[in-house]
Structure 1
Amino acid sequence: SHPRFMGDNFTKNLELVKEIEKIAEKKGVTASQLCLAWVLAQGENIVVIPGTKKIKYLEENVHASNVKLTTEELAEIRKIIDSIEITGNRYPEALQKVMYIILKTIFGSSTLHNTA
């Protein structure tokens, strides 16, 4: 279980989801498509790697490449992201420590900050 999706953290982090869903609804796309389109809009050197377990969501994700975001929409999404603090660690503490050790081995300690 991931700390971000438990208890009060889950409730607090849903604020971001609700705001993204509002923008997606106005645009006539799903929240997933909006998020993928936002990632794609971050630059030519960005590759999205969405995960899914169902074909219908894969098809939905593919259509995200057709979603074009205006400068205003990108700014609105950025404002929302910057205004909502995500609470809870991304991974359980034990896993964070293991990941830190692995990444430190691969990239060296000078490029990493231990948040575990």
Structure 2
Amino acid sequence: MAELVRAGKVRHLGLSEVTAEELREANAVHPIAAVQSEWSIWSRDVERNVVPTAAELGVGFVPYSPLGRGFLTGTVSAEQLGENDFRHRIPRFADGALDANQAVVAAVRAVAAELSESTGREATPAQVALAWLYAQGRRLQLSVVPSPERAKRTASMRTWVPCRSS
């Protein structure tokens, strides 16, 4: 891949679902521009190793499923999932787990309500969940890169969500 960059056929290299060790190894061969992995308030495993390594190396982070496959919007319930919904195959969406995870959504809703009241601007659970990611990026000095369409919808939230470490 590094040869393709040198040949001008590829501008930048990015990796998906890598370990911290794999990121270090790849970055030693050629600078990696971005890493993509699942990351959200609901899915924080990458914070142990991959996120700190990306921050250390100056590699951008593109979180996928930052809204927990819709769960963190506060609009998903077990009753709403259709029979063939792919989320039935995800352990967090299993019958008992989905109900237990409502506490996460309740906390996100509470923050959204508090922000709406204190700022006079509507804050949705989805905006709070995405703002949390941006805050983590600021805290870790890591570039958290949203998709272009999501960036347009959520640009204003960066200015009103406090940076909290958890």
Bin the TM-score by the shorter chain. 0.3 to 0.5
Q: Which one has more relative contact order, counting CA pairs under 8 Å at least 6 apart?
A: 1
Give the structure-2-normalised TM-score: 0.35
Q: Name the structure with the higher helix share.
A: 1
Give the structure-1-normalised TM-score: 0.47
Q: Name the structure with the higher strand share.
A: 2
